[in-house]
Amino acid sequence: MHGSKLYEGQKLALKYFTVAIVLFGAQLLFGLFAAIQFLYPDFLFGVLDFSINRMVHINALVVWLLYAMIGAVYWLLPDEAGREVVGIKLGNLAFYVLTAAVAVVVLVYLFVQIGPGKESTIWFITEGREYIEAPRWADIGIVVVVLIFLYNVYATVMSGRRTGILAVLMADLIALAGLYLAGMFYTDNIAIDQYWWWWVVHLWVEATWEVYVAAVGGYILIKTLNANRKVVEMWLWIEVAMMFGSGILGLGHHYFWIGTPEYWWEIGALFSALEPVPLVGLFVHVLYDWGKETGKGNKITNVPAFSWLTVETFGNFLGAGVWGFMHTLPQINLYTHGTQWPAAHGHLAFFGAYVAIMISAIYLAIQGKAGLKELKMTKAGWWAISLITVGVLLMTVSLTISAYVQTMVERGMHGATWEGFFAAQNNEWFWQGICWRLVTGVMVVVGYGFLVYDLLTCTKKQPVKESEAEVAAAAA
C-alpha cells in the first residue's frame, strides 16, 4: 500500500484470493462426496463417480493454492519493490483467461468425465495424471499465464527496490514455472511417464513450493511481528541451500516402482525428512527475537494471520516431516505403499505446508484492504482455525489407523494377496478409521463456513480504540 490506497497489483491479488477461497470450498465439497462414497458406494453412482470426485478434489487443491500463491506475490510485490506492478493490465487479462479456463475444465470433468483412449481425450478431457489432470490445451494455457506472471514480477523488481525476499522469490518462481513443464512430457511408457510426473509432484509441489512459502512466511512475520528483516532473509537463503541439498535428493523417496536405481530409495528417504527444518528454524528464531522485544511495545498487528502462520509452521513439520518420514523408508514403504498411509501424510502435509499459510496471507490482505493498523481474532475466526486444524489432525489420525490395518493385515499377515486385501477392507478397525475420516471431513467443512463468514465480516468487528471512542463521545 502507498498511503492508505491499495496498489493496482494488490487489487489484482484480492481477485486471485477470492477465486482461491471459492475453489477451496469446491475442494472440500468433492472431498466430502468421495469420503461418503467410501462408506456408501451407491452415493451419486452414475452421476458423479468416486474417480471424478477424487480427481476434482485433488485438482481443486492444487489450483486454488496456485491462485492463492499468485495472489500473495501480487500483494507483497509492490509493497516490497516500492512501486506499482509492471504490466498490470496484462496481469488482469491473464487472471480472467485463467479463471475462464478453470471453469471450462471443471465443467468438462463433471459432465463429460471420461473419454476414449485417444489423443483427443488427452487434449480435451483429461491427461489422466494425478494432481495435474488438466487437458493439454489447459496445460498450455497455464504455462502462458505463468509466463505473464513471471514477466510482471521480474519487470517490477528490476525497476524497483530489491529485497532479499524478492530475490529468493525471483529465483524460486523460475523453478516453479519451469518444473511444471516436466509434467507435460507424454509417453506411452508408463514408467517413463511416472518418472516425469514425480518431478512435478516432488520438485514442484514439495520443493519449490516450500521455498515459496518460506519467502511469503518471512514477509508475513515482518508485517505481523515487525520481525528483523536480516534474520528473515538469512533463513530464506538457508532454505534455498537446504532445498538444493534435501529437496532435489529427497526426490528419490518417490522412485520406488519405476525402474530407477535402488540407491535413490535410501538417499531420498534420508534427505526428504530435512525439508521442513529451515521453516521451523525461521519461525522459532523470529519468535525468540520478538519475545525479547515485547517490552519495547512490540505486538502482533494481525492475530489471524499470525495464528494461521503458526499452524503452517508446525503443521508442515508434522505432516511433511514426521508423517512423511514414518513411511518413506523403503523397508517400511514396501508395506505401506498403496494404503491409506500416503493419504494420511498427504492431508496433513498439504494443509500444514500450504493451506494454512495461504489463509494467513489472505487475512493480511484483508487487513490491508480495510486500512486497519491491527486485526484481532474474532469468535468466528477462532472457530474456523480450531475446527479446520483439529479436523485435519483427527482426519490424519483416522487415516493412519486404517493404514495400520492395511499394513499389518493386508501386507504383513497375508502378503499383499487378494485375500489380504479383502481381509483388511472388512476389518472393523479399518472401517472405524474411514468413518471417522468422514466425521472429521464434516468438521473441516463447518470450519470452512466459519472461515468464509469471518473473511467477509472480521474487519467490521474490530474493537474501537480508546482514542477513537473518546473522539466519538466528544462529537456526540
Residues 95 and 44: their CA atoms lie apart, in Å, by 33
Residues 364 and 379: their CA atoms lie apart, in Å, by 18
Dihedral angle over CA of 421, 253, 209, 323, nearest 10: 60
Q: Percent of the chain beyond pLDDT 90? A: 54
Which of these three, 139, 165, 200, is where a domain ends? 139
- Residue 297's pLDDT band (cuts 50, 70, 90): low
Section 37-60 average pLDDT: 91
pTM, two decimal places: 0.92
Dihedral angle over CA of 429, 434, 438, 439, nearest 10: 10
Q: How many residues does the chain have?
A: 476
Which of these three, 139, 154, 172, is where a domain ends? 139
Section 404-427 average pLDDT: 92
Q: Which of 294-298, 331-335, 451-455 has the highest mean pLDDT?
A: 451-455
Q: Which residue has the higher pLDDT, 181 or 4?
A: 181
Q: Which of 16-20, 133-137, 241-245 has the highest mean pLDDT?
A: 16-20
Q: Per the domain annotation, does 402 fall within a domain? A: yes
Q: Per the domain annotation, does 360 fall within a domain? A: yes
The answer to which of 75-84, 204-213, 448-457 has the lowest mean pLDDT is 204-213
Tell whether the torsion through CA atoms of 154, 156, 159 and 161 is positive or negative.
negative
Assess contact for 461 and 366: CB atoms under 8 A.
no
Task: Check residue 470 and give its pLDDT.
Answer: 47
Cell numbers placing 476: 456526540
∠ CA 372-378-383, nearest 5°, is: 140
Task: Check residue 125 and give its pLDDT.
Answer: 87
459-463 LR contacts (CB < 8 Å, sep 24+) = 459/366, 459/367, 459/369, 459/370, 459/372, 459/375, 461/378, 462/372, 462/374, 462/375, 462/376, 463/376
| DSSP helix/strand/coil, 306 | helix
- The pLDDT tens digits of the residues spanning 99-130 come to 999 999 999 988 887 888 788 888 888 887 77
The closest alpha carbon to 272, from 320, 236, 240, belongs to 320
Q: Which residue has the higher pLDDT, 282 or 150?
A: 150
Task: Check residue 294 and give its pLDDT.
Answer: 63
CA 144 to chain centre: 22
Helix-, strand-, coil-residue percentages of the chain, each rounded to 5: 80, 0, 20
Instruction: Please say if the pLDDT value at position 74 is more than 50.
Output: yes
- DSSP H or E run through 195: helix 190-198
User: Grid coordinates 500463491 are at which residue?
Assistant: 69
CA 423 to chain centre: 35
Q: Per the domain annotation, does 38 fall within a domain? A: yes
Task: Check residue 295 and give its pLDDT.
Answer: 55
Q: Per the domain annotation, does 212 fall within a domain? A: no
Instruction: Please say if the pLDDT value at position 41 is more than 70.
Output: yes
Identity of the residue numbered 140: I
Residues 330 and 324: their CA atoms lie apart, in Å, by 12
- The pLDDT tens digits of the residues spanning 149-178 come to 999 999 999 999 989 999 999 988 988 888
**DSSP code at position 80:** H
Instruction: Please say if the pLDDT value at position 471 is more than 60.
Output: no
Q: Per the domain annotation, does 32 fall within a domain? A: yes
- The pLDDT tens digits of the residues spanning 419-469 come to 999 999 999 999 999 999 999 999 999 999 999 999 999 998 777 654 454
Assess contact for 203 and 217: CB atoms under 8 A.
no
- Residue 387's pLDDT band (cuts 50, 70, 90): very high
Q: Per the domain annotation, does 475 fall within a domain? A: no
377-397: buried (b, 16+ CB within 10 Å) or exposed (e) per residue?
bbebbebbbebbbebbbbbbe
Cell numbers placing 363: 487475512
| DSSP helix/strand/coil, 302 | strand
Q: Which residues are registered as beta bridge partners of 375?
A: 302
Cell numbers placing 35: 469420503
Residues 413 and 330: their CA atoms lie apart, in Å, by 19
Query: What is the full DSSP assignment across 313-336?
Result: HHHHIIIIIIHHHHHHSHHHHHHH
137: burial class by Cβ within 10 Å (0-12, 13-18, 19+)? middle
Split into its structural domains, the chain has a count of 2
For 143, 239, 274, 375, the CA distances from 342, given in Å and listed in that order, are 29, 25, 18, 37
Residue 76 belongs to domain spanning: 1-139
Task: Check residue 467 and give its pLDDT.
Answer: 47
Section 75-82 average pLDDT: 95
Q: What average pLDDT is seen over the chain? A: 88
Cell numbers placing 362: 489472505
Residues 128 and 52: their CA atoms lie apart, in Å, by 11
